[in-house]
Structure formats: C-alpha cells, structure tokens
Chains A and B, each alone.
Chain A
Amino acid sequence: MDSDERIIKLYLGGQKDLFEILVKRHIDRVYNFAFRYVHDRGWAEDITQETFLKVWKNLRRFDPEKNFKTWLFRIARNTALDFLRKKKSVNFSELEEEDDKIFEPPDSGPMPQEIFERKETEAKIAKILDELSLKYRLVLILYYQNQLNFREISEISGESVDTVKSRHRRAILLVRQKLSQA
C-alpha cells in the first residue's frame, strides 16, 4: 500500500483521483477524533467535512517529507477549536440528521445486549472525556484512539514533548479517579 506522502506527491503531479483514496483512508479517524473532542455527532460531521476541505485547499503547501497524519490532525484540531469557539451558531448537520434516520437500513448488526453495552461504554468514555479539559482530552484521544506517539502529538498541539508527556500523566490520573468513581 502506498504511503500518504507518496499519494500526495502523485496527486500534486496531476493524478487528481488519488485525493479520494486519501480521504477514504482517514475519514473514520478524523470523524472519531472530532466526535471525541466535541461530543456531538453533527459537529463532528461538520468538522470532518471542513477538515478535508482545508486539506484539499492547502495540499500544495504540505511538505511531503513530513508526516501527513500529524498535519491532518493539526488541521482537525484547529478546525474543532474554531467550531467550539462559535458553538452558539446554527449546526447544519443536526438539521439533516432527521432525514438520515428515515433512510437508515434495517439493522443487521449487533444484538440488543451488545448495543446496550456499547452505548454504556460510549457514555462512560464521553462522560470521562467531557469532564476533562481540552488539552487533556486532545492528548488522550490522539494517544489512545489514533495511536500517535508523544512527538507527533507535540507537533499537533504545538507544545513540547515533555509538556505532552506530563499532560498524559495527569490525564491518566484524572481518568483513574473518574473510573474509580464510576
């Protein structure tokens, strides 16, 4: 499988169709990140959309010698922060959500018990993350969900590696407290 950086080089060389591969490869990760960060599916959808639009617009400025995933998450994080800042404005995706529900195909997925457990775990994570400040939330999501290392997280957040490490330590202490309370 070609690396992201190679795909970008080919895309910039004129193979426009390759952008689709790039989006398909990362859409779930970015959506997950956005959802964990803002705790709202509609917002997460908007953030994902906006993130890839920014990636498309700025891809010429990306240095293929650098890590694409880091660059992508930096854009996603900045976009999410922008969305959080203007949270009082209208959320367009929420308006579309009702329509999506109507066309949802009959469920052939997990059993009710599994759904219940999943929802319970999701609620637990959401509660824990929600109670943490954004800086801790960012480190936890990127480290555990997106499997990024401390150096990559420091590039995304613009903080030093030591700061990221200490934030991770403190975040885990907070998580420990919250899990014991739950």
Chain B
Amino acid sequence: MNESDKFGDLILKTELRAPVGLLGKIFSSIARRERRTAILKFGVYSGASALATALFTFSWGMASAALQESGTASVFSLIFSDFQSVLGNWSYFTLSLAESLPTLSLIYLLLSALALSILVSLAVTNLKNAGRLRPYGLKHA
C-alpha cells in the first residue's frame, strides 16, 4: 500500500457523522430566516397598502365628482325614464354614454383599486407565512 492509499484509507476509516441535532438546527435557522423575510415583506406591503388606500380614496372622490360634472348620470337615467327610446336608439345612447364618461378619472380609480387589492393580498400572504412555524412541514423546524 503506497502513502496516498494509506492516507486515503486512514481518512475514510475515521469518517465522522454530523452531530445529532445539526439537521434540526439547519432547518430552524432556515425557518427563522424565512419568517424574518416574511415579516419584513409584510411591513413593506402593509405600508404600500396604506398608500394605495389613500390613493384609492382620492381617486374615488375624483371619479365621483367627475361623474357628477360630466352628466353621465342624466344620460344613464334615460334607461329608467324612457327605455323604449333607449332601445330604439341604442347605438346613439351607447355613444353618448361613452362620450360623457370621465374616462381618465375612472382609469385612475380602477388602477388604484387593482393596486390596493394586489398589495393587500401580498400583505396577507406574508402575514400567513410569518405565522407558520414549519415552512417545509418539517418535524425539525
């Protein structure tokens, strides 16, 4: 047996096993890290949701004021007051309704509602993740 074989033999003969509990420690530290990240993300998304709520409230106010000014409501009310005329001239009616709509304000309103719902759902997801003790469903974590 030459020296390299001898050394290889020696090193393999004394192979160690990882200490009991090390696996648990690894998964606990991963769980801690994951939890910390989730809490941080929850904080960020909550803050962003608060901003989105403010933006949504502002857009709502702006859209309702614009709707009142534009006369869309009076055009729309024709459906209830003179349905036969609306039915007879439905293409003109649709065009008038579309023309009277405050498009920009409504787009702002829709976008802010969309942003708010996405941010709230992300905040809730991260809150759930932060509450989970076992991110992998492991017995070790």
Residues of chain A touching chain B, judged by Cβ–Cβ distance below 8 Å, are 16-17, 19-20, 23-24, 27-28, 30-32, 35-36, 41, 45, 48-49, 52-53, 56-57, 100, 118, 121-122, 124-125, 128, 140-141, 143-145, 172, 175-176, 179
Contact = CB atoms under 8 A, between A and B. Distances in A.
Given A53-B29, A53-B30, A27 B7 contact: no
A35 B16 CA distance: 9
B26 interface: yes
27 contacts: A16-B135, A16-B136, A20-B27, A20-B140, A27-B22, A27-B23, A28-B18, A32-B16, A36-B11, A45-B25, A49-B22, A52-B30, A53-B26, A57-B33, A118-B13, A121-B10, A122-B14, A125-B10, A140-B7, A144-B7, A144-B8, A145-B11, A172-B3, A172-B4, A172-B7, A175-B3, A175-B7
A56 B37 CA distance: 14
A52 B140 CA distance: 15
B107 interface: no
B29 to A, nearest CB: 6
B35 to A, nearest CB: 13
Mostly, the B contact residues are helix
Contact of A20 (B4, B11, B14, B138): B138
Contacts of A175: 3-4, 7
Nearest to B14: A122
Interface of B: 3-4, 6-8, 10-19, 21-23, 25-27, 29-30, 33, 135-138, 140
Contacts, number: 90
Contacts of B12: 144-145
A107 B16 CA distance: 16
B14 A49 contact: no
A49 B18 contact: no
A56 B3 CA distance: 39
Contacts of A125: 7, 10-11, 14
A179 B3 contact: yes
A171 B102 CA distance: 81
Contacts of A24: 23
Nearest to A26: B18
Nearest first, the 6 closest Cβ-Cβ pairs linking A and B are A31-B18, A144-B8, A176-B3, A27-B18, A122-B14, A52-B26
B7 A31 contact: no
A124 B10 CA distance: 9
A45 B18 CA distance: 8
